[in-house]
Structure 1
Amino acid sequence: MNSLERLLSILRGYPSILLAYSGGIDSTLLLELLKVQAGIRFQAVFVEHPALTDNERDIARAEIDAVQGQVISVSLDEMQAVWGENREKRCYYCKKFLFSQLLNLAEKMELAVVIDGSHVEDDPGRRPGMRVLDELGIKSPLREAGWNKRLIRKQAKVMGIKSWERPARACLATGIEGPVTRRKLEQINRVEEFFQQQAVAPVRVRLEEGHFSIGTLACHGGEIEELFATPAFQQLLDSLGMTLAEVYPLSGGAIR
């Protein structure tokens, strides 16, 4: 049994499925596989929350509308209560809250399991929110089938999924020290979107005490720094009332 056959066997083994759809390539691959598998009853659900970038929200909305999926909208007030001020455990509490919403919906829709797009390279030690999946009984077929990011992108390319090489984006709230506010989320979103519009390597922005730091892969550091002297970047800083503290290398070779 090859890797694709194993993954499909796992998907067919679920009586019915609620797919936690994020708009990223991992859950998009699962969505496309489910669409072409006869006899699998499933529903894709996108949780719209304030820590998504505008681009992520637009992409996921378009995909979920195309398959007549559902959208759960979570307000900033709800998320602020979940996030609190503890950045270290913010991801854990957030994921627990969001997946609890999906489990409740799955029960109402009489769907047997909730699945997500986690894979074997999603390390629980580096991403505390991963523990929630085991605690709540969320299934991760890609991880169970032994798929990594390279294999996911390869299969997505074979299937003609346009987003097969789109970089992963981290939650905006992970870059904020202290309380998460709408203003801080908007500041990070605008800086990250600026670099995306310039068609350069993706970045991660950290915000603290009125200034921000920009993280990028070491091989793209010079490319990013060239944009700092441009009028467009200076105008962005002025409009946000922010200053740039530093550029730092991302560890682990990934944006997430």
Structure 2
Amino acid sequence: MKTLDAKIVLLRRQLADLDRVVVCFSGGVDSGYLLAEAVSVLDDRAVALTAVSPSLVPEEGAAARRLAEQLGARHLLVDTAEVDDPRYAANPANRCYFCKVEVYGRAVREAARLGTHHVVDGFNVDDRGDHRPGRQAAKEHGVRSPLDDAGFTKADIREAARRLELPVWNKPALACLSSRFPYGTAITPERLTRVAACERVLREHGFSICRVRYFDERARIEVAPAEVARFHDAALLADVTARFRAAGFREIEVDPAGYRQGALNEPTRLSTTADFVRRYS
């Protein structure tokens, strides 16, 4: 098994061999670390590309801009239109494929304009076992995954990013806003905006990990398990409830199990927020 140091050496060698790359950059730890290494190895021959659409959490776009600037990377913000694709908007189980077709297509075109055929992303070893329809789109567009090729796990990436003192080294994973909708529930810009506004409310209250799951007029809140009990605070609960209702949700519930990946696909048996307070106060 290769050590982390050996993986880093291999990654840097791969990037040097590519000579000029466009890095698909979300601002998270995976693509952030990859961009940092690419800039270190290739300087201005490494360009970051961030796709901007209604499915991007607005604060994440701003964070990506700050990190790219900190790294000294040239940063392209490109508008993508996956939400306008009826196949994507219908929200099938392979929704991510249609998103990545749009994003990678734009990245490949930008790369060609910049004089390179090499587009890279932050896919890594731990992503192999996940349900990721977008990987097919990556293969179709010739997108390369240097972290995966070098054998990086998520833990490796976080440790390597920590060594570089990247501010995102311990940043929680954050999927696009469309992941808040059960498969088969149509995705629209208006609905994405509602979810983004409500998650902003939770972040304003200090919840660093939060999801607002969309069920038509009902919103389900997921936060870190250790922070679920904060909703016993009457003032916090009242503010969250009022602002969620102002955003268009009639019912609000808090998942007592807290956030975990894949929770959206579990049967929903939770009650309204008021019932949650009666049951757990």
- Give the TM-score, by structure 1 length: 0.87
The equivalent residue for 1:67 is 73
CA distance, structure 2, for counterparts of residue 165 and residue 173 of structure 1: 23
C-alpha contact 2:46 2:73 (8 A) present in aligned 1: no
* 1:236–1:16 distance in 2 versus 1, CA, 3 Å: same
The equivalent residue for 1:161 is 166
1:7 aligns with 2:15: no
CA distance, structure 1, for counterparts of residue 175 and residue 18 of structure 2: 29
1:117 aligns with 2:122: yes
CA distance, structure 1, for counterparts of residue 261 and residue 13 of structure 2: 32
- Percentage of pairs with the same residue: 24
The equivalent residue for 1:17 is 21
CA distance, structure 2, for counterparts of residue 50 and residue 10 of structure 1: 34
CA distance, structure 2, for counterparts of residue 246 and residue 220 of structure 1: 11
The equivalent residue for 1:199 is 206
1:244 aligns with 2:249: no
Per the TM alignment, residue 226 of structure 1 is displaced from its structure 2 partner at its CA by 3.3
The equivalent residue for 1:45 is 49
Per the TM alignment, residue 15 of structure 1 is displaced from its structure 2 partner at its CA by 3.3
SS of aligned partner of 2:239: helix
Match of residue 215, structure 1, among 222, 236, 246? 222
| Correspondence list, 1:135-150, <5 A | 135-150=140-155
C-alpha contact 2:207 2:223 (8 A) present in aligned 1: no
* 1:31–1:254 distance in 2 versus 1, CA, 3 Å: farther
The equivalent residue for 2:278 is none
* 1:180–1:28 distance in 2 versus 1, CA, 3 Å: same
When structure 1 is superposed on structure 2, of 234-243 and 51-60 the one drifting more is 234-243
1:180 aligns with 2:187: yes
* 1:209–1:7 distance in 2 versus 1, CA, 3 Å: same
Per the TM alignment, residue 220 of structure 1 is displaced from its structure 2 partner at its CA by 4.2
Instruction: Render the CA deviation track for 1:46-96: whole Å, top value 9, x for unaligned.
Output: 211111112101111233455232221125xx5222513133121111111
CA distance, structure 2, for counterparts of residue 44 and residue 122 of structure 1: 21
Pair member with larger Rg: 2
C-alpha contact 2:241 2:252 (8 A) present in aligned 1: no
Which residue identity is paired with 2:211? R
What is the aligned-residue RMSD (CA, Å)? 2.6
CA distance, structure 2, for counterparts of residue 228 and residue 165 of structure 1: 31
Unaligned runs of 5+ residues in structure 1 are: none
C-alpha contact 1:212 1:245 (8 A) present in aligned 2: yes
When structure 1 is superposed on structure 2, of 120-129 and 130-139 the one drifting more is 120-129
Per the TM alignment, residue 227 of structure 1 is displaced from its structure 2 partner at its CA by 5.6
SS of aligned partner of 1:233: helix
CA distance, structure 1, for counterparts of residue 232 and residue 122 of structure 2: 35
C-alpha contact 1:52 1:171 (8 A) present in aligned 2: yes
CA distance, structure 1, for counterparts of residue 77 and residue 110 of structure 2: 11
C-alpha contact 1:12 1:40 (8 A) present in aligned 2: no
Which residue identity is paired with 1:172? L
C-alpha contact 2:108 2:117 (8 A) present in aligned 1: no
* Pairs aligned (count): 252
C-alpha contact 1:46 1:70 (8 A) present in aligned 2: yes
CA distance, structure 2, for counterparts of residue 60 and residue 254 of structure 1: 27
Per the TM alignment, residue 208 of structure 1 is displaced from its structure 2 partner at its CA by 1.6
CA distance, structure 1, for counterparts of residue 217 and residue 263 of structure 2: 26
When structure 1 is superposed on structure 2, of 138-147 and 204-213 the one drifting more is 204-213
- Give the TM-score, by structure 2 length: 0.80
